[in-house]
Amino acid sequence: MNITTLLGGLSPENFLQEYWHKKPLLIRGALTDVGPWVDFGVLSELAQQEEVESRLIEYRRGRWQMEHGPFRPARWRKLAASDWTLLVQSVNHHLPHIDEILWRFNFIPYARLDDLMISYAPPGGTVGPHFDAYDVFLLQVGGRKRWQISSQHDEAFIEDAPIRVLKDFRTEQEFVLEHGDMLYLPPKYAHYGVALESGMTYSIGFRAPPAQELANQFLMYLQDNLRLEGVYADPHLQLQADPARISEEMVEQVSSLLQQIRWDRQVVGDFLGRYLTEPKAHVFYDSPESPLDEQTFLLQLESQGLVLDRKSQILLEGEQVYCNGECLATELTDLVCWRYFANTRRLSPEHYISSMGPGLYEGYLSGYWHLSSLL
């Protein structure tokens, strides 16, 4: 599909300039050919798996209730005919045709692209009026759903609800989305979706880490990578009248030692390469059950090429290549090929050079990528 069709006739450049982070955009008929629908039958099976993140949200007798998966099959028999929503995160990790839809949004840098979540709701199903801290595309698949949106700044939530539901939502615009319609919303734009008919919402979400999270993760990175010189010492220690007091001399010396903690752009770039490709806690990779030896692997690579695992991410920063939280050992002469692999998520035989072999074999054994013929 042409990106301009996905964006309602806008070029990616126009979309980024006029709408991204700025204002909503309703796109009729954005994407109607989505392959096999990921309906309740598919989602409920995924939500029973340990490695899949899922939630069930119900609104009963005026109260919000939320449960986290994995769910037992018997749980589905207790559901009412309306007023509930099943949400499953990162469906792109589990279904190839959903992964293909996610990467159609490659006009946004991969460092920002997060996952494709799918929710199913019967009539009346909703998660209440809320807002997200990140950009989101909401694609309707099957059925009809009413969306009300608001640019309001009142962010007060219902206090005893297990989810963040806005206490005072004031509708400014209203749309009914049918199959293939899509709504883009910038961060902090309040929205309230209610299913009019049974159907799915495919939510393409983007990463927008809070400053506090970035700071916490960066400090952990420094903890793992920082090496300070020196040791605390007080050879000229004098008797204190008040032995329970931390001396000014100790404060000054420790302050001087800690001033060695410094970082520059290169350090921040390395941190981001590792942090932005780090798999989420529930993500695991499947190593080949009967791995090929390195020579056989390289021979097949030369004829078949590789495809990146759906759970893997490769990002580039300067001349460094990062994959799944690691900085890969690569040669400068290989950088063009790694760039191709990162951008297309495939490595065709003509873009492979032999010096990449050892690193590619190691990634193959880890399950980070696979020979194309095996998919």
In this structure, the number of other CB atoms found within 10 A of the CB of residue 179 comes to 17
**Cα-based angle 43, 50, 276 (whole degrees, multiple of 5):** 90
pTM to 2 decimals? Answer: 0.92
Task: Beginning with the edge strand found earlier in the chain, give each strand of the sheet holding 136-141 in spatial order.
Answer: 25-27, 182-185, 136-141, 199-206, 113-121, 84-88, 54-60, 63-68
Residue 273 in any domain: the answer is no
* Phi, psi (deg, nearest 5) at residue 305: 85, 180
Q: Inform me whether the pLDDT recorded for 2 exceeds 80.
A: no
The pLDDT of 142-157, averaged and rounded, is: 94
pLDDT category at 202 given cuts 50, 70, 90 is: very high
Give Rg (Cα) of the chain: 25
Same domain as 303, residue 154: no
In this structure, the number of other CB atoms found within 10 A of the CB of residue 259 comes to 9
In this structure, the number of other CB atoms found within 10 A of the CB of residue 264 comes to 7
Same domain as 149, residue 14: yes
The residue from 206, 229, 258 where one domain ends is 206
Look up the CATH number of the domain holding residue 313: 3.40.366.30
pLDDT at residue 347, as a whole number: 97
Same domain as 24, residue 137: yes
- Domain residue limits at 137: 3-206
Residue 302 in any domain: the answer is yes
Lowest mean pLDDT among 66-70, 148-152, 226-230, 348-352: 226-230
Residue 237 in any domain: the answer is no
Same domain as 323, residue 182: no
The pLDDT of 205-228, averaged and rounded, is: 94
**3-class DSSP state of 300:** helix
**3-class DSSP state of 126:** coil
What confidence tens digit (pLDDT) does each residue in 134-145 have? 999 999 999 999
Residue 247 in any domain: the answer is no
Instruction: Work out the percent of the chain whose per-residue pLDDT is above 90.
Output: 93
332 or 373, which is more confident: 332
Burial of 339 from C-beta contacts in 10 A (0-12 / 13-18 / 19+): middle
Look up the CATH number of the domain holding residue 134: 2.60.120.650
d(C-alpha 331, C-alpha 337), whole Å: 10
Same domain as 316, residue 199: no
CB of 192 closer than 8 Å to CB of 118: no
Same domain as 196, residue 73: yes
Residue 346 in any domain: the answer is yes
pLDDT at residue 154, as a whole number: 86
What confidence tens digit (pLDDT) does each residue in 306-359 have? 999 999 999 999 999 999 999 999 999 999 999 999 999 999 999 999 999 999
The pLDDT of 31-48, averaged and rounded, is: 97
Same domain as 325, residue 179: no
The residue from 189, 206, 223 where one domain ends is 206
pLDDT at residue 116, as a whole number: 98
Residue 232 in any domain: the answer is no
Kindly compute the dihedral angle of the four CA atoms of residues 138, 142, 145, 150, in this order, to the nearest 10 degrees.
10
61 or 308, which is more confident: 308
Same domain as 332, residue 193: no
pLDDT at residue 4, as a whole number: 81
pLDDT at residue 5, as a whole number: 85
Q: Inform me whether the pLDDT recorded for 374 exceeds 70.
A: no
Same domain as 344, residue 196: no
Task: Estimate to the nearest angstrom the gap between the alpha carbon of 134 and the chain centroid.
Answer: 11
Residue 91 in any domain: the answer is yes
Residue 63 in any domain: the answer is yes
The pLDDT of 164-192, averaged and rounded, is: 96
What confidence tens digit (pLDDT) does each residue in 279-303 have? 998 899 999 999 999 999 999 999 9
Per the structure, how many domains does the chain have?
Answer: 2
d(C-alpha 189, C-alpha 183), whole Å: 12
The residue from 164, 184, 206 where one domain ends is 206
Q: Inform me whether the pLDDT recorded for 1 exceeds 70.
A: no
